[in-house]
A and B are shown apart, each in its own frame.
Chain A
């Protein structure tokens, strides 16, 4: 009788022991504090090694703190962090893009840093003010990136063209490049890259002088917005871009010399040079070829989880990242993109490896960086993005006119804003 029940009891007992055992054991050992740091760069070739080295360096100097490197893939980053943080869990320190940051602060995911860190001593840049909400600093700038025209000097000079400074010049250059059998341009058009599409289109909209929203009201059907979308669609339909290529593919095509220009973020020159060292001296950076001097910015923030059980250790890590040493390492990792503090670049770690730095700085100086988050609608950014990308897809693939597509998008955007 009892024999029959024994296997069940044993199984249940083993199961419980198995589940609880390790927990109990862990609680017994006195420990270095462990904190989780989530960033998508960990598994990326080039940036991954540098980030690993940076974290390891911190751990060497702080033997009482162990950092668990959490590499969540970039396409699923926001959703994963939100799912975890929503339940009061999630990594102790994590990155977040500027489009998701306000939502996260609103949901209480970030801890105000004023008490935990000595902020005034950090020499922060003004971009950090974007992370101040209701007077509290909820995060710091990891990288303040912008979108600029990146071009292949060799290809342009082979058709005797100078860098286009206006949309008309751009079209002319594109046509001549097409005759030579090269793609003039590339931007994100696949449905798996909705977020990227948004950044790309924003540049064209801002370039035409438009804005997505004003004071919390969307203006998707504003004349300059429509013009920006229309121009981009025109480029696509004229066959100047490799259709259906995702960003990873067309960036690779660029360093193989098949694409001449794109408007992309400033981490790219470093990636391109790494992908094809021959390209290093051929990379040019210039301001966007549009009448307005506004270009899209892409800021990534880093902050401490409000539910972290080790905020002090997390703050120590953050302080290291924002020390001169940490910042220089970050600057190098990001390929020359502005970091959160004002750096003394007299001994630029990128040195001669980045001949485009001068042009990059000039391009940034010549333009005004505008966030891609619609003004006053930070909470609804991802939904508005979906609306926008559908509208663009209608124009690109279904032949709808930019005017009609954006009119419909505006209706949807207003409905979303009103919720």
Chain B
């Protein structure tokens, strides 16, 4: 009996500490964003956010193109997610259901792509995109981002599809349904958690992406938030409170996305990890 209760208290403490440490940096962003610069260099920092001082947020939203940047980030992220799912789904299905020539090679190639740092590929991809007119286009970033996420996405979806019994598909095919329809209306709903997990991975990756966005986009109105916020780091000064305010606003969408999708993400990763 005592053992169980102690376990309960210990667990609660552990959870509180864990969550506290995890959230702390975001909390600190909030505190810094609401701190007047004159109070930033005291011996003891203000530990609580001062909700009366929201000037930094106003500055972030009014004086800059933050909202436009966020819109661009959203477009890129959604586009990346759609492209990733569209591409990875068919590949995953093929890998899962068919024993075809080149299956091993394709799987290996997918895995090998994980070995390459993005910065290594920056210059050649830039040259490629320049030739095909994909620079200064949000679509270009969608394509690049998707290329980096598709391998992991394919793996996750493949293991999820593996877990779907073939009999279900067989039954539908006996009924005369075309293959594509089976994939979309029968198999896909059964692996919804994995699709959600893939969406989160793709969305977060695109939302976060910096180096390619920095190099490939020069038009001010196409700039995503990652680059926009980095550009607050000026040559001479860096307005800390405004940057923190802008960063908080930048973090919000993915946070909300995460909160809603977390149930599916875990479920989606179940299918992926058990088979290994």
Contact = CB atoms under 8 A, between A and B. Distances in A.
A contacts B: CB pair < 8 Å: yes
B233 A4 contact: no
Interface in A214-258: 246-249, 251-253, 256, 258
Nearest to A270: B236
Given A87-B130, A248-B238, A275-B37, A71 B180 contact: no
A175 interface: no
Contacts of B220: 42, 68-71
Contact of A70 (B130, B218, B232): B218
B2 interface: no
Contacts of B63: 45
A256 B237 contact: no
Contact of A89 (B130, B178, B180, B219): B130
Range class of the B interface residue count: 35 or more
Interface stretch (A75-83, A368-376, A406-414): A75-83
B219 A68 contact: yes
Interface in B211-245: 214-215, 218-220, 223, 227-228, 230-240, 242
A3 B178 contact: yes
Interface in B123-149: 123, 126-127, 130, 133-135, 139
Contacts of B59: 45
B130 A73 contact: no
Q: Is the interface of A mostly helix, strand, loop or mixed?
A: helix
Interface residues of A, number: 46
B86 interface: yes
A23 B235 CA distance: 35
Given A68-B220, A83-B126, A89-B130, A41 B235 contact: yes
Contacts of B215: 80, 83-84
Interface in A247-276: 247-249, 251-253, 256, 258, 267-268, 271, 275-276
Interface string A52-88: 0000000000000000111111111000100110111
19 contacts: A4-B179, A23-B133, A41-B235, A42-B231, A43-B234, A45-B59, A45-B63, A45-B239, A68-B219, A71-B231, A73-B233, A75-B233, A80-B214, A84-B218, A86-B123, A87-B127, A268-B236, A271-B237, A275-B237
Interface of B: 37-38, 40-41, 59, 63-64, 86, 122-123, 126-127, 130, 133-135, 139, 178-180, 214-215, 218-220, 223, 227-228, 230-240, 242
- For the complex of A and B, the 5 pairs showing the least CB-CB separation, nearest first, are A248-B238, A73-B231, A44-B234, A74-B235, A43-B231
